[in-house]
A and B are shown apart, each in its own frame.
Chain A
């Protein structure tokens, strides 16, 4: 494995519910990303992917609290917890410059009464008070030229841009300060297919140009993930259940949830018309009261007695990590994909 860019250690984030009970949406997650790579983060709705992204971007807001976890990045070790009184002041300088967020749906990401160029200047000045307006705008228009986007968008207001253009503009703003890590939270979900393609090509070009040194790409769009990512991390009920190189996961899933998730998407092949997607039986658990042992066991075809009592530990097979009792008993065996023929 190449040099590590970032490592998030033992990250736990909870939502404080009105009942007074905390709901852990991200539970003791450790995640690593090598320099220059794109890590895909996938899982069903409500599995904690966006919460994990929010915690890493250091913008957790009540009722979400990051209660534990550190982020090693760029030679810094940042305490991600939002519990200390000064957490906001400690985190602010890192936001946008070390870790930046590309938000889900950029439609309302820019204040409607603000010209794009004013936001650009504000972002630059937030990290370096002495930047002049002209310098900030030069930098932005250079970046736009490099990405073959029209520089006139700087003079526009958000409502004057199309959806795809707005999302690409937001991407440019998010990466203006060359952040070490970009967290892209479902950036393509609100776009039509051609805008999706344009955005992904732009992100890949930016990684190529080393504008950012790593990307965490959060989505439930599995075809997009397998196309752009170097590595995948699959989340289930607030935990990472399997990580590894994308082709290893796609071809050789070691966790039954990964296998089930991947089999819920069809690759267009000759016999696609005759295939049926089974989906995953049951529904995601209530995180306020998760199942004992392995959290996936109530929905798992391969569940054994031990699964309902004891939580599986992370195991490694080379550069491929997974937490599953079945996989432990069946080393190097691929989980059979659940596709039936009609």
Chain B
């Protein structure tokens, strides 16, 4: 009974959050000073167009993008198009539809992030748990190394790796996602080529993820190892293997949140890593769009991130309801 009420209340909250997020997503880019059409038209102006021609183009663009409409109308159009799967056309790459731009970038980001996050999570948690359990020199070396990777700014680690592995040793190409003259397609030749470019950003993300997870897991496991229930289970003759499952179940809780959050924010791309390695994922797309005041692209990317984060969080809350009875009880007011 508690579970059903818990799920219903969670679903309600997340739908509400989604509505607020979509409204903000619509408003925020429009509150940034600077009209994108001004930017486009002034760019044309440098080509020596007459001011009359510029005015005509300006008006046509305003109409085309619906910017001459009142805010309220723009919002209705925006919502309707979202439901039709239409995210508008890019200003900067007019008239390319935003969905095409995303379709080009998203696969690169996913291919990079999913393995880095999952592998980093698994390796990091195992390392952290082992460090906590073994203690001593094991713990010291794992903990220190993890802390270094976890605390180091992304760009710092990325640049060091870039310099050592690509420039000094020349093992990997220093940037991009595939060789010049190649283009994304479903062929073996493209994949082997792209794999070369994939390793470097992948390794840098993996190391950072391992570091973060290992630090978190280690402290959770140490805390759990010292808790009363471990001692009591021991006094009842329960074996080490069984006890490890108790410890893991409790130590895992915050780690699952971490995993869900990174999966949620994943679609936003690893902004800095992608920029350092000139990797054409969602991070690069978003960065360029912001620089160009490309509203539709910015909005589309933030919308996708918002939805992904909300969905991931929702899944965590549902999962928690099953794993941890205390959360279920306190959230549904059952106590």
**Which residues from chain A sit less than 8 Å from chain B, CB to CB?**
57, 59, 61, 92-97, 100-101, 103, 105-114, 119, 122-123, 126-127, 157, 159-160, 170, 173-174
The reply to whether A123 and B238 form a contact with Cβ atoms under 8 Å apart is yes
Q: Are A122 and B228 in contact (CB under 8 A)?
A: no
Q: A112-B250, A114-B246 are in contact. Are A97 and B237 (CB under 8 A)?
A: yes
Contact with A along B168-191 (1 / 0, CB 8 A): 000000000000000000000000
Given known pairs A92-B239, A111-B229, A126-B239, the reply for A59 and B325 (CB within 8 Å) is: no
Residues of A within 8 A of B249 (CB): 111, 113-114
What are 11 pairs between A and B in contact, CB < 8 Å? Answer: A95-B236, A108-B229, A112-B325, A112-B326, A113-B246, A114-B229, A114-B246, A126-B242, A157-B325, A160-B325, A174-B235
Residues of chain B at interface, number, CB under 8 A: 21
Docked complex Cα distance between A108 and B227 (Å): 7
Q: Is B231 an interface residue (CB 8 A)?
A: yes
Asked if residues B242 and A103 are in contact (CB atoms below 8 Å), the reply is no
The residues of B with any CB-CB pair to A shorter than 8 Å are 227-229, 231-239, 242, 246, 249-250, 323-326, 329
How far, in whole Å, are A112 and B325 apart by their CA atoms in the complex?
Answer: 8
Which one, B232, B237, B325, B326, contacts A170 given CB within 8 A? B232
Q: Which of A92, A107, A111, A159 contacts B246 (CB 8 A)?
A: A111
Whether A159 and B236, one on each chain, are in contact in the complex, defined by CB atoms closer than 8 angstroms, is: no
Task: List A contacts of B250 (CB < 8 A).
Answer: 111-113
Min distance, Cβ B232 to any Cβ of chain A, angstroms:
4
Q: Which residues of B contact A96 (CB under 8 A)?
A: 235-238
CA distance A127 to B242 in the complex (A): 13
Contact B237 A127 (CB under 8 A): yes
Cα distance A159–B231 in the bound complex, in angstroms: 18
Evaluate contact between B329 and A160: CB separation under 8 angstroms. Answer: yes
Q: Which residues of A contact B237 (CB under 8 A)?
A: 92-97, 123, 126-127
- CA gap between A92 and B240 in the complex, in Å: 10
Q: Residue of B at shortest CB range from A97?
A: B237
Whether B325 pairs with A103 at a CB distance below 8 angstroms is no
Which residues on the B side are within 8 Å of A157 (C-beta)?
A: 325-326
Q: Given A113-B249, A114-B246, A159-B325, are A174 and B228 neighbors across the interface (CB < 8 Å)?
A: no
> Taking the nearest CB of chain B, how far is it from the CB of A16, in angstroms?
14
| Interchain CB contact under 8 A, A101 and B238 | no
